[in-house]
């Protein structure tokens, strides 16, 4: 585990810079989002089984059209500007201290950065379709196809180029699975993308995603993957800037350009902190992202229960909307999710560090 103070600075400075960048660009972004009315023109949501989501629509019909989408731009734009800005400064001012801050590296940050950008662009296209009059966004089948193709490419890169063929097991030897690392990456990416529906209450997704990326920043740091740790911390900085404007009442919503970028990037970072980094990044993902797991599991359970048993397990799925339907105010759900996300993040980090 690294102990050099300069390594800590290399992680924290980009995170702070990303926060400052995010706070700086948000007023301008917000101005244009409101100027061009970048929100759904009519409320209403369809459930996973294709039926109208009556419960959700009763709770959120007004909220869906009161604030713009595409707030996720704050997060990924902060990260991109910070990474490119530091890299450019390091190129023209080749001072040793500045060069150390440059965390754009082929072996640690190119893949997660590419994942972040592809997810952000596809999500942005979806958002642009949604805000049109009568817009429904890209078809789910198209979005899932993109997730599968992207994750298949990255999974193959891990297997063929980086020779990743095993999954770390906490307190045990890595499990060799060979080429199955590719379908595993696809499944993890799809599951994480599905968890993006956690972006449903003001401030909820930002806090949960922040805990997840902060956890992996610590894990990557412990594995001496300093560039990857800086990258994850930079995302945390962007998320904190986003949260500043997303706490109730939210100025905007993260929407697909943010959730798609972040969920797919989590998959990449988890795999990079697994056997490749001598750790168990995949095994602790269900712990660190326990609330993301609960979100997906509650959706699946609701659909299965309704289809095969004619029973609704939850008043509204996913789980956080169920609590709203019970009468919990949104801020109460968000605060308790934040607390739980921090608790699970600590637990996951403890397991990961103990297993190194």
pLDDT (tens digit per residue) in 178-192: 999 999 999 999 999
- pLDDT for position 40: 85
The DSSP output letter for 160 is I
Distance of alpha carbon 330 from alpha carbon 325, whole angstroms: 10
Give the pLDDT confidence of 223-279 residue by residue, as tens digits: 999 999 999 999 999 999 999 999 888 899 999 999 999 999 999 999 999 999 999
Check whether 5 has a pLDDT greater than 70.
no
Give the pLDDT confidence of 148-167 residue by residue, as tens digits: 999 999 999 999 999 999 99
Can you state the angle between helices 110-130 and 255-272, rounded to 10 degrees? Answer: 160
- pLDDT for position 346: 97
Who contacts 200 (Cβ-Cβ below 8 Å, separation ≥6)? 60, 318, 320, 321
Distance of alpha carbon 121 from alpha carbon 307, whole angstroms: 34
Distance of alpha carbon 154 from alpha carbon 241, whole angstroms: 29
Can you state the angle between helices 73-92 and 5-35, rounded to 10 degrees? Answer: 130
- pLDDT for position 14: 96
Check whether 356 has a pLDDT greater than 70.
yes
Give the pLDDT confidence of 205-236 residue by residue, as tens digits: 999 999 999 999 999 999 999 999 999 999 99
Whether 256 has a binding-site annotation, put simply, is: yes
Among 247, 201, 249, 208, smallest CA distance to 339 is for: 208
Distance of alpha carbon 332 from alpha carbon 309, whole angstroms: 32
- pLDDT for position 213: 98
- pLDDT for position 57: 56
Who contacts 317 (Cβ-Cβ below 8 Å, separation ≥6)? 47, 48, 298, 299, 301, 302, 303
The DSSP output letter for 201 is S
Distance of alpha carbon 141 from alpha carbon 118, whole angstroms: 17
- pLDDT for position 136: 82
31-48 average pLDDT score: 80
Between these two residues, 122 and 59, which has the higher pLDDT value? 122
Number of independent structural domains in the chain: 1
Residue 175 domain boundaries:
5-355
Distance of alpha carbon 20 from alpha carbon 290, whole angstroms: 29
- pLDDT for position 35: 94
Pairing mode, if any, of strands 175-176 and 166-167? antiparallel
User: Residue for token digits 């590296």?
Assistant: 105
The mean pLDDT value of the chain amounts to 91
Check whether 54 has a pLDDT greater than 60.
no
322-332 average pLDDT score: 93
304-329 average pLDDT score: 91
Single pTM value for the model: 0.94
Check whether 61 has a pLDDT greater than 70.
no
Check whether 47 has a pLDDT greater than 80.
no
Q: Percent of the chain scored above 70 by pLDDT?
A: 92
Check whether 170 has a pLDDT greater than 80.
yes
The answer to whether the CB of 203 falls within 8 A of the CB of 181 is: no
Who contacts 62 (Cβ-Cβ below 8 Å, separation ≥6)? 43
The answer to whether the CB of 300 falls within 8 A of the CB of 195 is: no
The DSSP output letter for 251 is S
Distance of alpha carbon 352 from alpha carbon 278, whole angstroms: 10
- pLDDT for position 60: 59
The answer to whether the CB of 241 falls within 8 A of the CB of 21 is: yes
Distance of alpha carbon 159 from alpha carbon 138, whole angstroms: 31
Distance of alpha carbon 203 from alpha carbon 320, whole angstroms: 12
Check whether 2 has a pLDDT greater than 50.
no
């Amino acid at each position: 585990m690294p102990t050099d103070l300069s390594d800590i600075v290399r992680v924290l400075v980009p995170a702070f810079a990303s926060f400052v960048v995010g706070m700086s660009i948000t007023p301008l972004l917000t101005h244009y989002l409101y100027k061009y009315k970048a929100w759904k023109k009519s409320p209403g949501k369809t459930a996973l089984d294709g039926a109208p989501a009556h419960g959700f629509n009763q709770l959120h019909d007004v909220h869906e059209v009161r604030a713009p989408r595409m707030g996720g731009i704050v997060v990924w734009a902060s990260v991109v500007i910070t990474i490119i800005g530091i890299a450019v400064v390091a190129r023209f001012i080749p001072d040793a201290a500045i060069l150390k801050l440059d965390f754009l590296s082929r072996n640690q940050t190119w893949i997660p950065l590419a994942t972040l950008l592809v997810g952000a662009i596809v999500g942005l296209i979806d958002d642009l379709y949604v805000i049109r009059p009568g817009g429904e966004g890209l078809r789910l089948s198209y979005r899932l196809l993109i997730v599968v193709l992207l994750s298949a490419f990255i999974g193959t890169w891990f297997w063929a180029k980086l020779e990743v063929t095993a999954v770390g097991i906490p307190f045990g030897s890595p499990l060799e699975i060979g080429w199955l690392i590719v379908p595993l990456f696809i499944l993890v990416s799809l599951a994480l993308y599905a968890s993006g529906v956690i972006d449903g209450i003001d401030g909820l997704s930002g806090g949960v995603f922040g805990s997840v990326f902060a956890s992996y920043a610590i894990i990557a740091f412990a594995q001496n993957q300093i560039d990857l740790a800086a990258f994850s911390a930079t995302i945390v900085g962007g998320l904190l800037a986003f949260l500043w404007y997303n706490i109730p009442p939210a100025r905007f919503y993260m929407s697909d350009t943010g959730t798609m970028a972040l969920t797919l990037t989590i998959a990449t970072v988890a795999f990079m902190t697994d056997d490749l980094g001598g750790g168990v990044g995949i095994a602790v993902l269900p712990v660190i992202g326990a609330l993301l797991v609960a979100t997906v599991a509650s959706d699946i359970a609701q659909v299965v229960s309704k289809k095969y048993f004619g029973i609704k397990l939850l008043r509204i799925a996913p789980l956080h909307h169920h609590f709203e339907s019970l009468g919990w105010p949104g801020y109460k759900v968000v605060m308790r999710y934040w607390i739980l996300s921090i608790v699970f993040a600590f637990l996951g980090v403890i397991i990961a560090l103990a297993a190194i």
